[in-house]
Amino acid sequence: MFTVRDAASTDVASLQTLEDFAFESLNAYRGLTQLLEVSPRIGNEWAEMLIDTKYRVLVGQSEETIHGYLLVEIFHSLRKALIKQVYVDASARELGLGALMLESCEQIARDAGCTVLEGLALPGDREMKNLFERSSMSAQLLIVGKTLN
């Protein structure tokens, strides 16, 4: 039903739209400011991201429609890969696309010589946490804090 492939320059408009939806959905969760420090929005720079060799961008599609994307950064010297963004639109959730993108990402990480695959999720984003846990990824570090006036 779904296929996962490397994103191409022709996918930039879809990536921008999906990223907008992804970050709109995150507004309700704590920690968005901190997430943006670690993983800023790509916005109008998707074309540049696609040619930067330290990143891989995957898209998940059904027929000609892109329903999701995954952005992973490869840290070769640390032998680690970090999933910075993953999003599946509402019409394709709970159908296995997220898991399929994570499987592809895991293979990319292995092929790059990585021994660790990590992902970012906000507190309260149960759907993201569930997606990671279904792929045998569990919480490794929680950051707590408060704003000082």
| 63-75 pLDDT tens trace | 999 999 999 999 9
Indicate whether 76 pLDDT > 90.
yes
- Residue 145: inside a domain, yes or no? no
Q: Which residues pair with 6 in a beta bridge?
A: 58
Phi, psi (deg, nearest 5) at residue 114: -75, 145
Determine the Cα–Cα distance for residues 134 and 59; give it in Å rounded to an integer.
19
CATH number for position 38? 3.40.630.30
- Residue 79: inside a domain, yes or no? yes
**Type of residue at 32:** L
- Residue 106: inside a domain, yes or no? yes
pLDDT in the model for residue 147 = 77
Whole-prediction pTM value?
A: 0.93
- Residue 139: inside a domain, yes or no? no
Percent of the chain with pLDDT over 90: 79
Task: Name the average pLDDT for the chain.
Answer: 94
What's the pLDDT band for 142 if we cut at 50, 70, 90? Answer: confident
Residue range of the domain that includes 22: 3-134
- Residue 66: inside a domain, yes or no? yes
| Residue at token pair 């990590």 | 118
- Residue 142: inside a domain, yes or no? no
- Residue 140: inside a domain, yes or no? no
Q: Are 70 and 57 in contact (CB under 8 A)?
A: yes
- 110 to each of 24, 101, 106, how far by Cα in Å? 32, 14, 6
Question: Strand (E) positions, the chain?
Answer: 3-6, 55-62, 65-75, 80-88, 116-119
Q: How many domains does the chain have?
A: 1
- Residue 32: inside a domain, yes or no? yes
pLDDT in the model for residue 28 = 87
